[in-house]
Structure 1
Amino acid sequence: MKTTQTETVIGNARIVLADRVIEQGWIAFADGKIAEFGEGDAPAGADDARGDLIMPGLIELHTDHLEMHFVPRPKVFWDPVAAVVSYDAQLATSGITTVLDSLRVWREKGAEEADGHAGLLADAISAARDAGILRADHFLHLRCEIPMPSVVDEAKEMVGRPDVRLMSLMDHTPGQRQFRDEAKLRTYYRGKGAGKTDAELDELFAQRFEYQRLYAADNLRDIVALAQSHSIPLASHDDTTEENVADAIRDRVSVAEFPTTLEAARGLHEAGIGILMGAPNVVRNGSHSGNIAAVDLAREGLLDILSSDYIPSSLLMAALQLPVRVPGIDLAAAVRTVTKRPAEAVDLPDRGEIAVGKRADLIRVHVARDIPVVRSVWREGHRVA
């Protein structure tokens, strides 16, 4: 192989391919794409990876972590573009090179700080992208809380954007799905932000029950039709029962986010719907809501995609922990859950694996004391972290 000035060659690395791991190999990329890779010694002049992993850049389908940068404290709103840039840097240094930023598409009385800012944040992402100051490749994931009165109108305002890649159908009405145990939902809200009193929660829950009764059925029909008319993949959310699975099949969803029971996961899998679980669930070895553990689904062959959800660094940690927790999953298979499979779920065929001609979205990872450290990040061949 002849190297050129536009090529980067890295040797002495463990190369994670889609179906196997090259224990000692090299990789070359040029003009934003993977040019070659091989086993054994690298060509002369290659950078020495010192035995570190070279993996595809991670692909994140569901993270609302941007909200923590935009509203870092109750009633404190940060400059939205600055919040996007800070959040983006955290993603990149966690190994994430492609992200679907999950934006709340609804307004709710009493939750104004986090809700109602989807358009503002989407504009901030676009502004940062146009300025060339983003490290990762950003798309949008519209989180639609189906019972909310304004959700259809707000989704219509967002859905025409070219960077919308996924819409999720959510319903957090107390007593169902993720929070079948209403007491756990109360505990969640008491610990969130400034917290809420029991009286405030009584009022909030009564309002949500009323919203579901008045709006959920019509809104669900309209949101599904809206997504399908724009050819945007749909995700279900927190499927729990056979009825939830039947609804997901009827609505032709592509991805099931965070199913809460083994029965639901089995039904979704049998229907050919990809199952997405939280990487923090893997790292913590259980759900913070007390639902099914992601590792238990992995042992049953029911885990397709991992998402960092609220902790960007958890995505890489979980992928590297899966082969230890689940002997039937090797490293290549574990890495597919955070690279190739999420890319396929949202129709991004140009990335997600190390293959000739694919985008040179790559990360170099060193593992010390079982903690992965991202040492280098390339997006389309350019070093970004």
Structure 2
Amino acid sequence: MLRSLHLTGAQVLRPDGWSDAVVGIEDGRLSDAPCGPAVDLSGWWVLPGIVDAHGDGFERHLAPRRGALRDLRDGLAMTAAELAVNGITTAMLAQFFSWEGGMRSPEFAAQMLAAHAEVAPREAIDMRVQLRIETHLTERHDEAAALIERYGIGYAVFNDHVPHAALAAGKRPPRLTGQALKSGRSPEAHLAMLQDLHARSPQVPAALEALIARLAVRGVILGSHDDPDAETRRLWQARGVGVSEFPETAESAQVASGGVVLGAPNVVRGASHAGKVSAEVLVKQGQCDALASDYHYPAPRQAALKLAADMGIAAAWSLVSDRPARLLGLADRGRIEAGLRADLVVLDPANGRVGATIAGGQVAWLGAGVAGRFIR
């Protein structure tokens, strides 16, 4: 950790706009006073570190190819490095707990959480875990809750990836063979499992209510994923599930106002890759509380800079810093204010690329363009 230093010369994005005042870092916290040696960042921007409310890009590091990486700890360390390169100082790693098998299986989730418990405390980047629980995997809900309790997970999201429409119509779900092989099952066994999951739908609401009650007692933040319509979002809200991740329609996003997480890649692309509602449109309508990396860690930075052209840098950057921090209950970060965690990203205003990332007062990444200034 940097015991103390201060940054000078930069344009600093504070809650009330740009400032050229110094930014001090002392014992991992921000200060308004000069302290320790000075680092001249003239010509650069200093902004709050990015808070990523949902991302599964870490999966590429844990298994770049099937069976290619045996030690999940190395993969998580590489994840921390990629996060830092992209200015992300707090990251929710969205780990599945699903019937889908492979990296989405309950067994893999347990292995990932054990590795995370070893690696995360040693990294400058604050890597946390969100557990994504499949609604219809009812016989293992207690196991999911036990993992959340054991590892102190503060955020759980409910998914339903069962292809109900095809199964209800008596059809073979699309991509069945590939999914079966990925999960280690035969296509026949996989289809039988899906049919069983679909058939238990009437019992799922009671199972969810029991699980939600157990998690709510622990203060776990609860979210739903891919709400297809307003009715579904209202149902989740009635259950006490306040966050809506990636609502698929404008109507579901409107109902979820106050807890909407949208995909930054959707903004960067200008449209959803799956043909759903445009995140950029929802942002401009004021129906977004946080932009998340989803599957691509550079996207929050890219999306915020793109949106800044229309809504201003302060409002746009808050969607990847202050507002997701508030949504996650992290009051000690997301803004450049004295006393908060020293989470900062240094950007080149000419191209928006990251020159340095400081997380919790530690230099997590130094690019060639700014490294010499810190060394001097």
Q: TM-score, normalising length from structure 2? A: 0.85
- Asked if the contact 1:174/1:209 (under 8 Å) is kept, the reply is no
- Asked if the contact 1:69/1:78 (under 8 Å) is kept, the reply is no
Question: What is the Cα-based RMSD across aligned positions, in Å?
Answer: 2.8
Deviations 1:124-175 (A, max 9, x none): 1111135x2x131122211011112444032122121354121101112226
Partner of 1:208: 194
- Asked if the contact 1:70/1:80 (under 8 Å) is kept, the reply is yes
Unaligned runs of 5+ in 2: 166-170, 366-376
Deviations 1:328-383 (A, max 9, x none): x2211111111111111121111111111111111111144x4x321111122221
Deviations 1:66-104 (A, max 9, x none): 222112113434311111111111111111111122111
Are the structure 2 counterparts of residues 36 and 158 from structure 1 closer, same or farther at C-alpha, using a change threshold of 3 Å?
same
The alpha carbon displacement at 1:18 in A equals 2.6
- Asked if the contact 1:106/1:145 (under 8 Å) is kept, the reply is yes
Matched, 1:27 2:18: no
Partner of 1:373: 353
Alpha-carbon distance between aligned partners in 1 of 2:43 and 2:221, rounded to the nearest angstrom: 39
Are the structure 2 counterparts of residues 206 and 331 from structure 1 closer, same or farther at C-alpha, using a change threshold of 3 Å?
farther
| 1:355 aligned residue (327, 337, 340) | 337
Matched, 1:346 2:331: no
Alpha-carbon distance between aligned partners in 1 of 2:209 and 2:27, rounded to the nearest angstrom: 45
Partner of 1:124: 115
Matched, 1:13 2:10: yes
Unaligned runs of 5+ in 1: 177-182
Matched, 1:279 2:264: yes
Alpha-carbon distance between aligned partners in 1 of 2:12 and 2:164, rounded to the nearest angstrom: 46
Give 2:163's aligned amino acid. P
- Asked if the contact 1:275/1:305 (under 8 Å) is kept, the reply is yes
- Asked if the contact 1:260/1:292 (under 8 Å) is kept, the reply is yes
Partner of 2:79: 87
Are the structure 2 counterparts of residues 43 and 169 from structure 1 closer, same or farther at C-alpha, using a change threshold of 3 Å?
closer
Alpha-carbon distance between aligned partners in 2 of 1:192 and 1:286, rounded to the nearest angstrom: 26
Partner of 2:246: 258
- Runs of 4+ in structure 1 displaced over 4 angstroms? 42-45, 189-196, 202-206
- Asked if the contact 1:254/1:345 (under 8 Å) is kept, the reply is no
Are the structure 2 counterparts of residues 121 and 313 from structure 1 closer, same or farther at C-alpha, using a change threshold of 3 Å?
same
3-state SS of the aligned residue for 2:150?
coil
- Asked if the contact 1:257/1:275 (under 8 Å) is kept, the reply is yes
3-state SS of the aligned residue for 2:43?
coil
Compare 251-260 and 214-223 and name the one that shifted more.
214-223
Give 2:118's aligned amino acid. A
Alpha-carbon distance between aligned partners in 1 of 2:348 and 2:179, rounded to the nearest angstrom: 34
Deviations 1:164-198 (A, max 9, x none): 1211011122267xxxxxx9x947x89989889xx
Are the structure 2 counterparts of residues 149 and 242 from structure 1 closer, same or farther at C-alpha, using a change threshold of 3 Å?
same
Partner of 2:145: 156
More helix by share: 2
Alpha-carbon distance between aligned partners in 2 of 1:59 and 1:375, rounded to the nearest angstrom: 18
Q: Where does 1:155-234 land on structure 2 (aligned, <5 Å)? A: 155-161=144-150, 163-174=152-163, 186=174, 200=187, 204=190, 207-214=193-200, 215-234=203-222
| 1:240 aligned residue (228, 234, 237) | 228
Alpha-carbon distance between aligned partners in 2 of 1:229 and 1:43, rounded to the nearest angstrom: 43
Alpha-carbon distance between aligned partners in 2 of 1:346 and 1:360, rounded to the nearest angstrom: 18
Matched, 1:334 2:316: yes
Alpha-carbon distance between aligned partners in 1 of 2:291 and 2:236, rounded to the nearest angstrom: 19
3-state SS of the aligned residue for 1:65?
coil
Give 2:17's aligned amino acid. R
Are the structure 2 counterparts of residues 151 and 17 from structure 1 closer, same or farther at C-alpha, using a change threshold of 3 Å?
farther
Alpha-carbon distance between aligned partners in 2 of 1:82 and 1:330, rounded to the nearest angstrom: 39
Q: Where does 1:98-117 land on structure 2 (aligned, <5 Å)? A: 98-108=90-100, 111-116=101-106, 117=108
3-state SS of the aligned residue for 1:141?
strand
The alpha carbon displacement at 1:224 in A equals 1.2
- Asked if the contact 2:157/2:222 (under 8 Å) is kept, the reply is yes
Compare 166-175 and 154-163 and name the one that shifted more.
154-163
Give 2:93's aligned amino acid. D
Matched, 1:54 2:36: no
Alpha-carbon distance between aligned partners in 2 of 1:15 and 1:190, rounded to the nearest angstrom: 53
